[in-house]
Each structure stands twice: as C-alpha cells, then as structure tokens.
Structure 1
C-alpha cells in the first residue's frame, strides 16, 4: 500500500519537534513556539488519519466545501502546508488537472482555480477533507465526500456519491470527481460510478478504463477493499454494456444534495 498519510505526517511532526527543540536550545524560546504548535497539530492529524481511527471531520470541512474560521486557525499549519505542497507537486508532475474518462465524466486533481475546472459547469464530487472548494458558478451542484489522502471513502459514502452522480448524469449534467491529484480517492469513486452507469462490468474494468485516460492513477489496498465492499452490498449490478436506466437512477435516489 505504500506509505500512508499518517506515517508521512508523523515524520513531519517529529521533524518539527526536533527543530523546535534545536531552536529552543539556542535560546530562541519565543521563536520556537510556532514549531512546537505545528508539531502538535501534525501529530493530531497523523493520529486522526490512521486507518484505525480515520476521522476526516476533525479538520472541520463543511458540506459546502468551506472551512470555518476556527478550523483555518487551529489547523493552519497543516491546511496551508497541504495547499502549498499540492501546488508544487502538481506543477512538477506536469499532469493534466483532469481527464475525461467517458463522455461527461471527468476525474482529476483539486481545481485550485476555475481554469482547472472541466468545461460545461460540471457537478462536483469533492473527495478531499483538506482542500477548500473553489467556487465557479453560483448554484453549481456540489457534493463533499471528505476523505484523508491515501485513505478511501467508506462504501456507504461511495454509494451516496454514485447515486448523486447518476442523478446528475440522468439530467445530462457533466460530473467531475476530484481529490488532491486525481490518483486515488477520486478514482475509487469514479470506478463505482462507471459501474453504476453500466460503462464497466466491475470496478476492476473501470480502473483499466480510467488508467487508459489517466495513466498515473494508483489506487491502494484501502481503495480496493472499499470498492469490493461496495460491490458486495449494492442493490443491483448492471450487465456489461447495458445502458444505464435514467428512471431507476432518479427513483432509487433519496432526496438530498442538489
């Protein structure tokens, strides 16, 4: 599965604490305090993002994709670090901000600006808990499935996102599923959506379809486990190459997000 976010942030927390101790020993006690605070926040995030806890709501992201002031203040060492790191990593990779995996279906990274948004005013399924929503058009359909990086949305969250996405496609609205880079969390949701829309027989074939359009995707064991659980507990599974039923998408979806 590789190194998860809890391990990476733990290393960051330890590094910040060592730096705090070093500066304090030099006699700069006041200047060392921000490093101690950043270390404590990093440790808290590492704990909350561990698979055995997995508490993305800790960061305070609202259902509309915004962060309350208290969250921005308390978790600023982590939230702003993630934004900077994401921007630098994406610039270095040179990867397109999004990829169209099928007509009207897009998967990609965090749209930090409106220019990185797919065309057609798409409905957005946001799989991040650490990055804010970028407002494009007033009234734009939006759903947040808050998930830590390298972790997976829960099967129930995948199902909710799939139903919501199916309803938008039934209304002929494009759907854009994104996480930080468009490699893991968003791909897991898009795999399920492709299956539900009848464009792939199962999530494994859906992954191959996505990889053909976006070569650098890399789902881990947690994503695959969640998709397996989602597949087992779905109410129905469309046949291969079967056209998705618009009426069933609307009738099976309970009233919810618009």
Structure 2
C-alpha cells in the first residue's frame, strides 16, 4: 500500500459497514444494527487518524509496555480484532519466515505472536506497531514500543530514539529484533537506520539493499525513505 493506502482501505471498510448498518436497520434486524454502527464509526476514526496529514497513532492508546488500556480494547475492539485476524491469516498464506537475520545480532520481521516467531538469544525487541499488542512471547524480553501506523514511518526523532536504545542493547551483546506486522515497512525503516548507526551499512539506501537481499518482500514507501533521509541529515549520531 502507498502512503494513503491504510486510510483508503479502512475508509472503504467504514463505508461498507455503514451500508450494512443501514440495510440491517431497514430490514428490521435490530440486534446487529448497533454492532455494525459501532464498527463503522471505529473504522472511520482509524481512517482519519491514520491519514498522512494527521498521523495520530496515539488514538489507539497503546502503552509504552505494549499493552492496550481497557477503554481502548473495548472501544476499538472491531478494528483490533480485525487486524489480528488479518495478520494471522496473511502470515499463514504467505509462508514467509517470521524473522530474518540481516546482520550479526540484528533481526527484522513480523509480529511475534508466539515464541517460535522470536529469533534466538533472548533478543531485545523494538515493536513498531500501534495496532498489535505485546504478547506473552516477548513479556520477558527487553522491549521498546515505537507506535506507528501501518504504511507510515516513525518520525526522525523516534527513529533516533529507537537506534540509541538498540545500540545500548547491542553494547550488552544482546541481539536486537525489530518488528512490525509483517516485517516489510516500518520495521525495515528502523533497521536501516540501525545498520547505518552501527557501521554495518554506508547509508540507509545501502542498508535497504542489504535487507532486501535477505528478506525479498520488504517494501518501504516514499514516506519511509523521506523519514530516513531526514534522520540521516539531522539526527544520525556519530559512530
């Protein structure tokens, strides 16, 4: 999906759900009408908040420890449940590895819903999702949440913060696992910066090429690349 892909997709979902609500109401199927209305309004909120001009991942309320407060789990239940189901089903169909080692001690990949999806060595985890919870699989791992919408990119300052944290973990000889939903965009953006900061790649473009050679289905969009360019110019720290 492109920069507005998520907003468009969820906006269409909101329209379909609202149409279903109207149909159910006019057909006299009262019990499901409020459910459809709630789901359509939630999708509309997500479509607006995830638009590039707004970009408000805090809407979902994901905490720094990777959990969702009760109010968020209840209010956004239709969207959060849909996303989890979509991620699980897509992973089953893709056959892509849950994670890929891109350099010594550095891994990039998908949301680790079980311990089998985690790289070896008790890795420190950088979670780049705002829509997926931290699971029991990573409850004992060092953890950093960089909440970001799908198809969006962390801000340059967030990239810099994630890189500093990951470098401290590597200084303690801990492997680092950066993940998003599928290990294709948000996580790759952060990993590119980390590879540069650790001296494993000359620049983010070389880092992207390095990752793609090992994980062929990555696909950063123009926003990811723009954020990396901004990070490179203003926030990259000396090696």
**TM-score normalised over the length of structure 2:** 0.97
Corresponding residue for 2:37? 36
Corresponding residue for 1:222? 223
Q: Which has the larger displacement, 20-29 or 97-106? A: 20-29
Long gaps (5+) in structure 2 = none
The answer to whether the 8 Å contact 1:114/1:134 transfers is no
The verdict on how the C-alpha distance between 1:137 and 1:47 changes in structure 2, with shifts beyond 3 A counting, is closer
Q: 1:30 Cα deviation (Å)?
A: 2.8
Corresponding residue for 2:122? 121
CA distance in 2, matches of 1:136, 1:86: 16
- Give the total of aligned pairs: 238
CA distance in 1, matches of 2:215, 2:7: 26
Corresponding residue for 1:165? 166
Corresponding residue for 2:70? 69
User: Deviation string for 1:202-255 (max 9, x for gaps)?
Assistant: 0000000000110000000110010000000035455xxxxxxxxxxxxxxxxx
User: Deviation string for 1:15-38 (max 9, x for gaps)?
Assistant: 101111111111112321100110
User: Deviation string for 1:151-207 (max 9, x for gaps)?
Assistant: 001100000000101111111000000000000000000000000000000000000
Long gaps (5+) in structure 1 = 239-258
- Tell me, what secondary structure is at the counterpart of 1:62? coil
Q: 1:9 Cα deviation (Å)?
A: 0.3
Q: 1:4 Cα deviation (Å)?
A: 1.5
CA distance in 2, matches of 1:49, 1:77: 16
CA distance in 2, matches of 1:235, 1:133: 28
The verdict on how the C-alpha distance between 1:91 and 1:137 changes in structure 2, with shifts beyond 3 A counting, is closer
CA distance in 1, matches of 2:139, 2:41: 38
CA distance in 2, matches of 1:82, 1:137: 19
Corresponding residue for 2:204? 203
CA distance in 2, matches of 1:131, 1:70: 15
CA distance in 2, matches of 1:137, 1:54: 27
- Tell me, what secondary structure is at the counterpart of 1:100? strand
User: Deviation string for 1:46-74 (max 9, x for gaps)?
Assistant: 11001111110110100000111111000
The answer to whether the 8 Å contact 2:99/2:109 transfers is yes
RMSD of Structure 2 on Structure 1 (CA): 1.2
CA distance in 2, matches of 1:138, 1:46: 30
The answer to whether the 8 Å contact 1:165/1:193 transfers is yes
**TM-score normalised over the length of structure 1:** 0.90
Matches within 5 A, 1:94-105: 94-105=95-106
Corresponding residue for 2:46? 45
